[in-house]
Amino acid sequence: MTHHPVDHELIEAAADVARTRAHGDNHTMAAAARTRDGRIVTAMNAYHFTGGPCAELVVIGAAAAQGAYDLDTMVAVGDRDRGVVPPCGRCRQVLADYFPDLKVIVTTPTGTRTLPITDLLPVTYVWSDHQLEPDGAGTAS
């Protein structure tokens, strides 16, 4: 497995947002993304019982609002000193579809690691592989 260094500046950016901007039950998780051109974009989750988005998903839109459509690395940090939190299953699927080359910082039993999104979702469903062609001649299997 390729070893990727841990982007501590990115973790600190998310931790700073989690520490200073967490608010009640609605905003409890922060995410930070390193764009392909080196910028850092941050966001918080928007909890709602109907399925309000995790911080990882909000940061995708926040990056797009800044013209950043390709993300290199992402990390999420919980409020109340919970530290780095790995992405949930839904986020893993979204991140893999949006950014197949994304790296995600997670904590593992052996410490903080930077892992490819594909390692977090093995044998994954690839949405684009299963879309039928407009003329009905699709090859989805």
Catalog residues that contact Zn ion under the rule CB under 5 A. Answer: 54, 88, 91
Cβ contact 43:64 at 8 Å? no
Angstrom CA distances, 82 to 13, 77, 124, 136, 139, stand at 15, 7, 28, 49, 45
Point out the catalytic residue in the list 9, 12, 56, 133. Answer: 56
Catalytic residue status for 56? yes
- In angstroms, what is the minimal distance from the CB of 17 to Zn ion? 16
Least distance (Å) between residue 136 CB and Zn ion? 34
Residue 39 DSSP SS3: coil
For the chain, give the longest Cα–Cα distance. Answer: 52
Least separation in angstroms between residue 110's CB and Zn ion is 23
Q: Which is nearer to Zn ion, 11 or 141 (CB)?
A: 11
5/89 with CB nearer Zn ion: 89
The residues that are catalytic are 56
